[in-house]
Amino acid sequence: MLNEKIINALNGQLNKELYSAYLYLSMSANSTFIGLKGFANWFMVQYQEEMVHAMKIYTYINDQGAKVKLKSVEEPPSDFESPLDMFEKTLEHEKFITKSINELADLVLGEKDHATYMFLQWFINEQIEEESNDVDIINKLRLIGNDGNGLLMLDKELALRVFVPPAQTQQAGSTGGTAP
Ligand code: OFO
């Protein structure tokens, strides 16, 4: 049984995950527009992963017999200066999400809601991977600088990322779908 404070906080986190999905869909669209199909693929997979995160919270609220309350999703930016700008904004956003998950974990611990604390463990681990993936790509983009060939090679690498649906993720014992 969830208390009101926790239901509100979980609904807030659900909204943030939906915004994350919307943000990465926007970055995917921008990447397609500027001719970087591999980047577009990477962000599309990220969009799909964020929808999985949102639906995990949606299902958890339902399973606990509480009510999901959908709020409006903010408009994401649609113009970006460069591929590096997109990934810097991605990392910045993921740091914000990590902070939000940590605050949620603090709240549920304070309320002695151990079931929700256990539920949040998956998100706490996932955030480590999310930030680390972004840092890797930012480092590569900084090395590439203005080298067009390097950018096209990275685009090919990012084209290889595949979305792994949640059931397969669990079987594989990983948080999945985040390579390369
Ligand atoms: Fe849901 O992890 Fe990114 O935002």
H or E segment and range at residue 169: helix 166-172
> Residue 1: its pLDDT value, please?
85
> Residue 175: its pLDDT value, please?
38
Residues 160, 163, 130, 35, CA torsion sign: positive
Residue 63 has pLDDT above 70, yes or no: yes
24 CA from centroid of ligand 1 (Å): 10
Residue range 5-27, pLDDT digits in tens: 999 999 999 999 999 999 999 99
127 CA from centroid of ligand 1 (Å): 7
Residue 99 gets which letter from DSSP? H
> Residue 179: its pLDDT value, please?
42
- As a whole number, the mean pLDDT across the chain is 94
90 CA from centroid of ligand 1 (Å): 9
Determine the Cα–Cα distance for residues 40 and 25; give it in Å rounded to an integer. Answer: 9
Residue of 18, 94, 132 best suited for mutating to test ligand 1, as the one with most atoms within 8 Å of CB: 94
> Residue 180: its pLDDT value, please?
42
Nearest to 176 by CA among 58, 49, 57, 59: 49
> Residue 178: its pLDDT value, please?
43
Tell me which residue has its CA closest to atom 4 in ligand 1: 20
Residue of 53, 74, 132 best suited for mutating to test ligand 1, as the one with most atoms within 8 Å of CB: 53
Q: Identify the structural domains of the chain with CATH numbers, from first to last.
A: 4-170 (1.20.1260.10)
Nearest to 7 by CA among 73, 74, 57: 57
Nearest to 101 by CA among 3, 17, 5: 17
Q: Which ligand 1 atom sits closest to the C-alpha of 93?
A: 4
- Mean pLDDT along residues 63-85: 98
- Mean pLDDT along residues 98-118: 98
Could you give the percent of the chain with pLDDT greater than 90?
A: 91
Please state the pTM of the whole predicted model. Answer: 0.92
Percent helix, percent strand, percent coil in the chain, to nearest 5: 75, 0, 25
Residue range 152-180, pLDDT digits in tens: 999 999 999 999 988 765 544 443 344 44
SS3 for 112?
Answer: coil
Token reading at 33: 């527009």
17 CA from centroid of ligand 1 (Å): 6
Using CB distances shorter than 6 Å, the residues near ligand 1 are: 17, 20, 50, 53, 94, 97, 130
95 CA from centroid of ligand 1 (Å): 9
Residue 68 has pLDDT above 90, yes or no: yes
Instruction: Count the helices and strands in the chain (H runs, E runs).
Output: 6, 0
b (16+ CB within 10 A) / e for 28-57:
bebbeeeebebbbbbbbbbbbbbbbbbebb
Task: Map 54-97 to HEC letters.
Answer: HHHHHHHHHHCCCCCCCCCCCCCCCCCCCHHHHHHHHHHHHHHH
